Amino acid sequence: MSESKTTSLYEFHLSKNAKIIDFAGWSMPFSYDGTLKEHHYVRESAGYFDVSHMGRLRLNYSEIEEINYLICSDLKNISNTKALYSIFTSEEGTAIDDVIFWKFEDDLILICNASNTNKIKTHLDIHSINYEDLTSSTDLIAVQGKNAIDIVSKIMSVPDKFSTSKEGKYVYARTGYTGEDGLEVMLDTNDTLAFISELEAKGVKPCGLGSRDTLRLEASLPLYGFELTDDISPIEAGLKWTVTNKDDYLGKDVIDQQIESKEHKHLKRFKLNAKQIARTGTICKSDGVEGIVTSGNISPILGYPIGFVLFKSNPADDLVEFDIRGNLIEGNLLYKRFLS
C-alpha cells in the first residue's frame, strides 16, 4: 500500500486538532469541534471544508462532443458560465462516477470523487480525451451555509446559483454538497491559507468529512460508493433529472429502457421512529421486496434516523422492516426530501 496522500492543508488541520481519517487514500480531517457542532455551523451560519482530495481535471472545449458522449447530461448546450452535476455512465448504464463540470468561456473543469480520480483518468484515456490534472497544484475549498453567500460576497463577486466565475486567484462556482447555498473555490495551493484565514476572520468555521456526510445525507444527496456505484444506474439512484443528454451517449439504451419499463432497482429515502440507526449494509424488507441500506445516520436537524435504501424492485408499500442487529425495526419510506 502506498502512503496516504495529504492536501496542502494537512499541517494546518493538525494545528487545529482535527481528527484525521483515511478517506479514499487521503488523510483528511473528519472533525474539528465534533460532527454535530459542525453540522449546525453550516445549517445556522457557515462552515468551510477542505475538499482538495477531490480530483480536478482541466478539459478542452475542442473535445466537448467526445466528453458529452460519456455522460448522461447535456453539457454541450448549456451556457459557458454554468456548473453542471452529471454522471459518467458505463455501457451498461451504470455510474462510473458522479461529477461536477464548471464551464467558463475559456476553460472546462471536471471535479470528480477522490475515490474515482484514477478511474476517470483511465476512462478519459481510453476514449482519447485529453486532460490536465490540477489536483496537486490546486486546492478546493467549499464554503457552505445559511450565511455563506453573505460572507464570501465580501471576498469575491457571487455568481447565480449553479454558475461559475473567475476572479483574481479564485476559480469558483456556486455549488455545494450540503443542501445550503455556498461556493466551491479552486485556488493555487500557495493562496489557500490566506483565503482560509480571511474566512475564519469572518466567522466561518472549519468542518470535516463527518459533517459533510451528515449534511449531504440530510440534504438527500447521493455519495459515490454508496447510493451510486458501478452497479447502479442514475435511474435506479433516483437521478432521472440528470438524464438530459439528447445525443447518443454511453449506456443510453439501457437507461432509456429503464425509464420506460420502470423495472429496475429503486433507491428510496427512509426514516425510522426508533433510537437505532440503520447503517450501510442493513437488510430490510417492504411488501416482500428486499432492500439494503446504502447510507444511514441521524438527521441532526430532524432528530431521528434517516437514510437511503436500495430495493431490488419498486415496493408498493411505504412500511419497511429493518433488521438491525437481529431486531426488527419499523421505518417509513419518504417521497419528499428529508428537509423541506
Nearer to other proteins, 49 or 131 (CB): 49
Could you tell me which of 214, 247, 219, 213 has the C-alpha nearest to residue 89?
Answer: 247
Residue 154's identity, in one-letter code, is K
36 binds other proteins (CB under 8 A): yes
By rule CB under 8 A, what count of residues binds other proteins?
16
Residue 194, H or E segment: helix 192-201
Which residues does 232 contact at the CB level (< 8 Å), separation at least 6?
94, 95, 265, 267, 310
35 binds other proteins (CB under 8 A): yes
Nearer to other proteins, 14 or 194 (CB): 14
- Nearest 5°: the CA angle 242, 245, 250 is 100
Among 297, 311, 320, 322, binds other proteins (CB under 8 A): 297
Could you tell me which of 222, 224, 199, 172 has the C-alpha nearest to residue 42?
Answer: 199
Nearer to other proteins, 30 or 131 (CB): 30
Site string for other proteins, 300-319 (x = CB under 8 A): x----x--------------
Q: Which stretch binds other proteins (CB under 8 A): 64-72, 89-97, 199-207, 275-283?
A: 275-283
**Min CB(34)–other proteins separation in Å:** 5
Pairing of strands 47-50, 205-207: parallel
31 binds other proteins (CB under 8 A): yes
Nearer to other proteins, 34 or 317 (CB): 34
Q: Which stretch binds other proteins (CB under 8 A): 51-59, 66-74, 187-195, 296-304?
A: 296-304
Among 279, 301, 314, 334, binds other proteins (CB under 8 A): 279
Q: Which stretch binds other proteins (CB under 8 A): 42-50, 86-94, 261-269, 294-302?
A: 294-302
Compute the distance between CA of residue 184 and CA of residue 99 in angstroms, rounded to an integer: 13
Q: E-strand spans in 231-316?
A: 266-272, 283-286, 289-298, 305-311
Query: For 33-172, where are the alpha helices, taking DSSP H only?
Result: 35-44, 64-68, 117-126, 148-152
* Residue numbers at the binding site for other proteins (CB under 8 A): 30-31, 34-36, 210, 214, 275-277, 279, 297-298, 300, 305, 325
